[in-house]
Chain A
Amino acid sequence: MFEEILEDTAQTNGLREVNTYVKLMTGLGGIILCLLSASYVGPLVIALIFTVSLLVLAKIDPWVYFELFLAPFWFAVFSVAVIVLISGGAHVLWEWHITSWFTLSVTEESINQGFYLFCRVIGGMSSLFFIALTTPMTDLFSVMKRCRVPDIVIDLAMIIYRTIFILASQIVQVYRAQVMRLGYSGWRESIHSFATLAGSAFIASWNSGEDLIRAMDARCYAGKFAMLGELRPVECLPLAASIAFLAFSALVIALTGTYTLIQVVP
């Protein structure tokens, strides 16, 4: 299952023991820089650095990383395609008048705009993956606690996190049982099976909610949830690397200014 791959990787990657704040600073810094960048160069550089560091430093399986990237990649491709077609510009390369009031066109400006957006998506995604693949959820809970997120939110988040895996495995079991009995062999069967799957998932989550209350009661629940002890100390090398990366990216963004893919002649 997908969520388990993400969690497993986050728990076992090469940057697991680096201080959570440093990793969050790096990842969030990357996202902010991608948003600030006025040209496509900055986000591309950021995506490249994150990808290399994920593959080399964190020792993420390249195939896992590639597969993870596929979903946002295609999403970005299609969204950008629409933007390229509907945003206009002065230098028209291709156009199609569908009706008198609706025209699809590809212009130099729209290609620039689309490519810029595409790079920002890729840069942002790689920053997000950097956080998701190197920082387990359990460490984020500790950070949330320190950032004064209300206890009830954290407790709920922790219970949800724990329950996701139980529920997911139950759903997989039901799904397999349905497949084995040809539940998805046709269109009608698929709809019917999916409905039963959803129903049993609901019942399972309801039951596990009741179990949870019972289990918590049996262990003297009085409204408190333990937090995972201390975070890893901030070490010099990762901190320096993070600052160097952010500074370098900021410099690239400042220098590349308003570079565009196609030089539009005014």
Chain B
Amino acid sequence: MKGIILEARNVSFRYPRGMEAIRDISFHIRKQEKIALVGANGAGKSTLLSMFNGMIRPDSGTLLVDNEPVRYDAASLRKIRKNVGFVLQNPDRQLIAPTVYQDVAFGPVNLGYSEEQVKESVALALHRVGLEGFGRRPIHHLSGGEKKRAAIAGVLAMDPDVLVLDEPTTGLDPAGSEDLMELLDELNHDGKTIVISTHDVELAYPWAHRAILLHKGKILAEDVPEVAFGNPDNIRTARLSVPILLDLHEELRKRGLKVPEGKPRTVLDMMGCIDSLLDKPCCHPSPGKIFVCNVDSDASSSLAGWVAGHPAIAIGAMGTRAKQRAEQEKYTLAFTYGVIDKCILRALLGHDTLILTTGTMVDHIFRRIGAYRDESGIPVDPVPVPEPAAQTGTQAGVHP
């Protein structure tokens, strides 16, 4: 288990002339976790988040960043704000400079980087969020999703260990929200700890490693999402709603059906539950293959030829660079979010799929599909393409 990076010990806070926003809260967040802080409007989510980078000082209690108590002198605050990047709910409030480049460079310049370092960190940050070539654009020419990405890039340019996002998907269309959550996953794979606040239960449920339910400044539940969202009393008190998959699972169980104890996180899990009810896997006799292409590798240059050889294949992209590559090659993407699950679902129907992905995600995809194969016993196999060496592995991997 990784070390603790953020911790709150008996933290309380009251707004001047207002009610208590945070009441004696204690919890911790480990490195590289994905945490969703869930609660209704006014539950204290934003207040709690603003404490992590010293924007709000608690009346009592201690906050620890990297196991060191937060101190509120200028130098310590600078250090904390560099390590804990905060993305505000409204990107218009976060973006302060006239152009994208200037805004992303704001943090690095104020941290005293040299001109070369500033350019480098801005280029890297824009690359990570997929806004290359946007540097000279003025902020008000960006769409809502682009503004959000620019705001995230501005924080990433300071290379923080923790990213704190307040209601990251507010104002984004569903596809934009999915893209953003994908981006957060990608950053998490690159080693960032991610904390988001949201009241979108369906969004937080499959995404988070752990969920913290807040109600009137107190923690109602703090656990893996299946448990945190699984208690109807807590959900009612917190003015939230039960995720639809959990609800469905519970209804099936109430009818005396023997569904597995493990609660479904995704549609794929739910299909597994239904399969076990039917007592036979309802998948195709010969499941399809999942081809995985690393767009960062040199071998991916022959991708176009490979795709041309598989005209009807459904393509999914994971990661910003993979999506850009798909755009360059003018592929129609069938999946952009929850790609691995959707590809497994396709494979169960006997169709082949191709996942375009970036270097850091390849291992994750193989692990995830491997775990599914081991758990379900259904021989779904990832196949790296277009490397010719993998061809022999393909034949060996697929059983009738």
Contact = CB atoms under 8 A, between A and B. Distances in A.
> Does A associate with B in a complex?
yes
A1 to B, nearest CB: 11
A216 B138 contact: no
Given A138-B138, A215-B94, A218-B81, A225 B101 contact: no
A155 B20 CA distance: 38
Nearest to B139: A162
Interface stretch (A70-78, A193-201, A226-234, A248-256): A226-234
Q: Is the interface of A mostly helix, strand, loop or mixed?
A: helix
A222 interface: yes
Interface in B69-108: 78, 81-82, 86, 88, 92-99, 101-102, 105-108
A7 B138 CA distance: 9
Interface string A1-38: 00010011001000000000000000000000000000
A131 B95 CA distance: 27
Contacts of A67: none
Contacts of B53: 218
Contacts of A208: 93
A235 interface: no
A215 B96 contact: yes
B70 to A, nearest CB: 14
Interface stretch (B110-118, B183-191, B296-304, B331-339): B110-118
Nearest to B119: A229
A235 B203 CA distance: 52
B238 interface: no
B93 A211 contact: yes
A206 interface: no
Contacts of A212: 93, 96
A162 B95 CA distance: 9
Contacts of A225: 97, 102, 106, 109
A43 interface: no
B55 interface: yes
B109 to A, nearest CB: 4
Contact of B109 (A137, A158, A224, A229): A224
Scoring B112, B118, B141, B154 by chain A CB atoms within 10 A of each residue's CB, the highest score goes to B141
A161 B97 CA distance: 9
B136 interface: yes
Nearest to B107: A219
Contacts of B105: 226
A69 interface: no
A212 B103 CA distance: 13
Contact of B110 (A159, A161, A224): A224
Given A215-B88, A226-B118, A162 B154 contact: no
Contact of A158 (B98, B110, B137, B140): B98
A226 B101 contact: yes
B158 A219 contact: yes
Interface string A136-156: 111001000000000000000
A14 to B, nearest CB: 16
A11 B97 contact: no
Nearest to B90: A211
Contacts of B97: 158, 162, 225-226
B155 interface: yes
Given A138-B98, A158-B102, A228 B136 contact: yes
Nearest to B115: A229
B158 A228 contact: no
Contacts of A66: none
Contacts of A7: 138, 140
Contacts of A218: 53, 55, 81, 86, 88
A74 to B, nearest CB: 29
A222 B136 contact: no
Contacts of A136: 138
Interface string A53-90: 00000000000000000000000000000000000000
Given A165-B139, A226-B102, 16 more contacts: A8-B141, A11-B141, A138-B98, A162-B96, A162-B140, A211-B93, A218-B55, A218-B81, A218-B88, A219-B107, A220-B111, A220-B158, A221-B106, A222-B112, A225-B97, A226-B97
Interface of A: 4, 7-8, 11, 136-138, 141, 158-159, 161-162, 165-166, 208, 211-212, 214-229
20 contacts: A11-B138, A136-B138, A138-B98, A162-B140, A165-B140, A212-B96, A214-B55, A218-B86, A219-B155, A220-B78, A220-B110, A220-B158, A224-B109, A224-B110, A225-B106, A226-B101, A226-B102, A226-B109, A228-B99, A228-B136
